[in-house]
Amino acid sequence: MQDPEFLSGSQHTAVVKLAVNPASLSCSIELYLSVDGVTKAVTSGEVNFLSTGVQQSILIPITSPLVQAAYGVYLVILVNDQVFGIYKAAENAVIGAADIRLVSLAATQEIHLGEPITIYIEAENFGTIGGVRTFDVGVVAGIVGIQIISLAVTPQVILGESVFIDIGVQNFGDTAGSKTFDVYVN
């Protein structure tokens, strides 16, 4: 089975199902990720709970590390402040990063009064994992009336694939003829 991949710096909630007997014991659980099994790259901190004597689900929030690597996933369970068990998951958590860049952009377009046009921008993911990137898009026209009327973005960019971003622009000004403007994307 392939190790699961996560985006660096992303937030997750692990669900650990366990039973501690008898009921009403003071317990805590910590989840941490480590490359070497000793140094904690990230930790959930202790999540306290009271045992029920039957199986229960414990929710453990954690943020993935920023450094790309394969991390061992460890659980430390304490009962009445005594170590009850230390467990290592069978799978590692692989942390990757999306690197979504523009690969083509029509930088200058001509627009006629009252006519909408569509500008196509291509973005590609050069990273190690799928991800999302928000682009800041605008127009610099030098005249009043040029406005973005629609912006369609495919939010998920799969590793090694390209997406096209469509920008609808229209001249709502009162100047006849065509105007040239620049598109910027950050």
- Indicate the number of domains in the chain: 2
Q: Which helix (H) or strand (E) segment is 166 a member of?
A: strand 162-171
**Separation of alpha carbons 42 and 102, rounded Å:** 32
175 near 163, Cβ under 8 Å?
no
Residue 111 has pLDDT above 70, yes or no: no
| DSSP string covering 27-67 | EEEEEEEESSSSS-SEE---EEEE--SS-EEEEEEEE--SS
Domain end position, chosen among 61, 96, 131: 96
Residue 158 has pLDDT above 90, yes or no: no
The letter for the amino acid at 24 is S
**Residues 125 and 58 grouped into a single domain:** no
Q: Which residue has the higher pLDDT, 144 or 52?
A: 52
Give me the domain span that covers residue 51.
5-96
What global pTM score does this model have?
0.60
Query: Which residues are CB-neighbours of 66 under 8 A, at least 6 positions away?
Result: 8, 9, 95
Mean pLDDT of 173-179: 58
CATH number at residue 164: 2.60.40
Among candidates 89, 130, 127, 97, which has minimal Cα distance to 1?
89
What pLDDT, on a 0 to 100 scale, did the predictor assign at position 7? 81
Domain end position, chosen among 96, 130, 159: 96
